Structure 1
Amino acid sequence: MKPSTLVRTLLMASSSSKRSVSLTPEQIALSEARKAKRLKQQQEKASLPQNQEQGNVLSRPWLQLEHTRNVDGANRVRIFTWNLLAQCLVRRELFPTSDCLKAAQREHMLYRELVAQEADILCLQEVDRLEKLLPVLEKAGYSYCYASGPRKKHGCLIAFKKDSYQELDTRLVHYDDEEIRSEGSEIARRGSSFRTKNIGHIVALKNKQSDFGLIVATTHLFWHPRYTYERARQAGILKREVVKFRDTLNRGRWPCIISGGEYATNCQFAFQRTLLSDFNFAPDDAAYSLVTGDPLLPSQIDYLKTSQVVHATIDPSVTPDPAKAITQDENEEEADPDRTITNARPAAASDGLLSPTELHDLFASSGPPLKSAYDIGMRNFTESNNAESVPLFGNRVDLQPDRHGAYEPQWTSYTHYWKTVLDYIFVIDSSSRSSVTGLLVPPKTEDLEPGLPRKGVCGSDHVSLSADLLFST
């Protein structure tokens, strides 16, 4: 038999064999069930808005504070702050329990949560992938102003409803370059312990429908848990520069002149100062006490003193730790997992680091303490309603009753390795008095287990905060 004839014969036999195979009733039923399931999934997917499945997040109610809801002639502002967890910082080893670390898994959750509260002003930290985020903000009716530190792959963004507000001016604060004393060498005048490349981002906004205005600042302070001093220094600088920015506007750089927190010419702007940030310190930290005007506790002073070091980024003569080589990204959050101070030496007097007393003076010299929207709002609500359903920081950490911080959310960052409070909405009143009229209720611990980011819960490792503020004269 010829080879070609043999091939044709084999093919015909194979075809005949295939035709002779018949499915059992059970196999036919299983095949039909699979087809029906696929069809149902396709129909359900087609009936949902685009990307809705990927964008589901935990639903969180608002807490309305009845005793301050109705005030005539006042200005109301909804503020939203959130650390988005920059994609460039995501590492699987940092989030072993997360089920959504890829950008495509997280981004629609982030976008939905950003616009869901319909806030007037958004303050965002760890912002990257601007080519994806900015169109979402524009579609939702926001204008924005973005800034980042030198050679940083992520930054801070302030967005505002473009139909309601207009940007008047901005100020970018480079903490590494700011001085905290007038005498001594350049290094001593800065009094820094670490060149971190962190920034403070400040924007002046005016309401288009009235004479009301806001100065809004957001920041992402140095993350390292052991560098308590450097975080306190940066927070003090930010408060000082926000007030200085207001005072600069008061000297006539704008069409109107500010006086005692107000502009007074043919029109009058009542400017408030609002700081919304990832401060990277907890309510029992020394920096929080300095920000809110509480006296420092002995334990907080001890933490400040042990963190008064000078890193090799300030003094290149520091001998590096062989086990901890200095890297370009050492100041990023994924670095130094041991959470210890390395590549640094104890500070000397010539380095100019501020003593605890001098740190207190840095904060006090720029005006009254900051007020936390959550700490004040939840304190008032709890005392008026005897409420115990909202999870608070004071439920798990014992704070003295005369100190601030117990009524902050129980968690604002919750992952497998770290669970803490790092995010706040702070307000400095001017001539108008601020009241907290509503708060976005923080999630409960069971909602956050086994750690963020988590599908259907939150696309970041941080929890978003939002507050309704009322400013009355």
Structure 2
Amino acid sequence: MSHQLTPEQLALSLARKKKKEEAAAAAAAKKQGSESAAYEKLLKNPAARVLKREWLNEAKEHDGSTILVATWNILAQILVRRDLFVGSDCLRTSQRHPMILAEILSHKADIFCLQEVDRQDKLLPTFHQAGFKEAFGCGRGKKHGCMILHRATRFEKIAERVVFYDETPVRNPNTQGDGPNLLGLTHRTRNIGLLVALKDRVNEAAPPVIVATTHLFWHGLQAGILKREALRFRSEHGNNRSSIIMAGDFNFQPDEAGYALLRGETLIPEQHVQLESSRVVHVSLDPTVPRTPRTRTDADDDDEAAGAGAAARPDLKKGTEGAEEDAEPVVPTKIKDARLAVESDGLLSTEEMINLFAAGGEARSAYDEILGRCAESMSEADNMLVARDSSMQGRKGACEPMWTCFTHFWRSTLDYIFIVDPDGDGFEVIDALKSPRTEDLGDGLPRLRVSPSDHVALAVLLRLPEFKA
């Protein structure tokens, strides 16, 4: 038998709801004031100037029906080396710190995923003043890690978890025995994924949002592990209506196997070759492997950044203008400090990799989606990946930003905001921060008055589906 409220009870319920809405609005106004105060203080410092960037659609709907999500590899100070960032005029802490804060606060994000975060004692006071709360995780023994900021008046953190890739089995120990082959490692990277579950304070009927950030090694396997663990995390702390946002530095380009697997795209011959050639075991796992002579741009084993780790990355084939249509796939150059894997090493086969990534359905790319939909009308067609790599025409990833990492030695698209939809309706991508144009980036980042990192920030505005209590 259904219970019907009396007029007095209904009036009381409506009054309570109105009071709660007024309290939320007051808290939001207070938060906005504190954030504005922190940002205004930074604006008075000329050293905090960064490249001003416009939004694709200039959407005005940043309210309770939308979420603004951003991601950025800020470049840990501990990884800054002058021989890697040749020509940079922005390498000292005193130069970079105010610019890092200005970049982060300027976007007024509800959720901000950060990678290569060090010097937390210097960053967190300003983040807290601006109304953010944080979750942080790092690899064992590392001095930098990943952070997820959330606006405290919009979200409440209800759970968090760190995924240690080197310690996370890729196979089921209940069905496939035990031993080191369950991990299926090719390198010991000390990389991690960071997961949080956020409850929406404004839309009480909305399910928790699952947010994952990471800074990956160049091998695509870790992206599959992150997705699998995010799905498990959702089953524990969200529900079948919860969307998953995976944002960070994935360290693979859209023409590589890791991206194709995550997007649910059929692998092309070159990508099969990439996977086959990546099946090696590094000296970090097998100390009997002889070391390869170093060059001046080689990174330390600890450095997995695109900047700091580019030299350790295999020289995978990239699409170029005028390439032969029937050219044979190019085998990557020999991966440094590694031997070919054998069966007992337990590395996943291509079929096993495909199955790992397939769980939960394909991941959407927010930038690829909205740029593909709006670029022509917004004069951004010449600022997308396909404009510099014609081999991507008609493929998923063609409309990713032309660059997300831009230095003297390496220029790539490595950073993404992915969405894994729930059962039913997911987020709608309604706006995106335009990526900088090549001419704005000079000879390479970091650069004063442009960016204090070798990466550029990405940000998108997502509209929530309608939820009923």
- TM-score normalised by the chain length of structure 2: 0.80
Is the counterpart of residue 341 in structure 1 residue 312 in structure 2?
no
1:28-427 map, 5 Å: 52-64=45-57, 75-182=65-172, 183-211=176-204, 212=206, 213-223=208-218, 231-249=219-237, 258=239, 260-261=240-241, 271-316=242-287, 318-321=288-291, 323=293, 329-333=300-304, 334=308, 337=311, 339=313, 341-364=335-358, 366-382=359-375, 385=377, 387-388=379-380, 391-427=383-419
- For residues 387-443 of structure 1, give each alpha carbon's deviation from its aligned partner in whole angstroms, at most 9, with x where no partner exists: 346610110012354421011000000000000001000011113322111110000
Quick one: distance in 2 between partners of 1:315 and 1:50?
51
- Is contact 1:215-1:273 (8 Å) kept? yes
Quick one: distance in 1 between partners of 2:347 and 2:274?
14
- C-alpha displacement at 1:184, in angstroms? 4.9
| Residues 163, 310 of structure 1: alpha-carbon distance in 2 compared, 3 angstrom cutoff | same
Quick one: distance in 2 between partners of 1:79 and 1:293?
23
- C-alpha displacement at 1:386, in angstroms? 7.1
- Is contact 2:255-2:392 (8 Å) kept? no
2:33 is aligned to none
In structure 2, stretches of 5+ residues that fail to align are: 1-39, 314-333
How much is the aligned-residue C-alpha RMSD, in angstroms? 2.5
- SS for the counterpart of 1:151 is coil
- C-alpha displacement at 1:308, in angstroms? 0.4
- For residues 244-285 of structure 1, give each alpha carbon's deviation from its aligned partner in whole angstroms, at most 9, with x where no partner exists: 0011236xxxxxxx3x32xxxxxxxxx211001100011111
- C-alpha displacement at 1:132, in angstroms? 0.7
Quick one: distance in 1 between partners of 2:142 and 2:409?
24
| Residues 65, 232 of structure 1: alpha-carbon distance in 2 compared, 3 angstrom cutoff | same
| Residues 74, 209 of structure 1: alpha-carbon distance in 2 compared, 3 angstrom cutoff | closer
| Residues 328, 370 of structure 1: alpha-carbon distance in 2 compared, 3 angstrom cutoff | closer
- 1:156 is aligned with what amino acid? C
- SS for the counterpart of 2:66 is strand
- Is contact 2:42-2:48 (8 Å) kept? no
- C-alpha displacement at 1:50, in angstroms? 7.2
- Is contact 1:390-1:442 (8 Å) kept? no
| Residues 50, 434 of structure 1: alpha-carbon distance in 2 compared, 3 angstrom cutoff | closer
Quick one: distance in 1 between partners of 2:179 and 2:230?
23
2:17 is aligned to none
- 1:133 is aligned with what amino acid? L
- For residues 294-330 of structure 1, give each alpha carbon's deviation from its aligned partner in whole angstroms, at most 9, with x where no partner exists: 11110011011111001122223x23227369x9951
- For residues 322-370 of structure 1, give each alpha carbon's deviation from its aligned partner in whole angstroms, at most 9, with x where no partner exists: 7369x99513144684655232211111111111121111011x21110
- Is contact 1:452-1:462 (8 Å) kept? yes
Q: Higher mean Cα deviation, 99-108 or 176-185? A: 176-185
Give the count of matched residue pairs: 396
- For residues 32-56 of structure 1, give each alpha carbon's deviation from its aligned partner in whole angstroms, at most 9, with x where no partner exists: xxxxxxxxxxxxxxx9967621101
Larger radius of gyration: 1
Quick one: distance in 1 between partners of 2:236 and 2:43?
47
Quick one: distance in 2 between partners of 1:93 and 1:303?
29
| Residues 63, 186 of structure 1: alpha-carbon distance in 2 compared, 3 angstrom cutoff | same
Q: Higher mean Cα deviation, 367-376 or 388-397? A: 388-397
- 1:320 is aligned with what amino acid? P
| Residues 410, 185 of structure 1: alpha-carbon distance in 2 compared, 3 angstrom cutoff | same
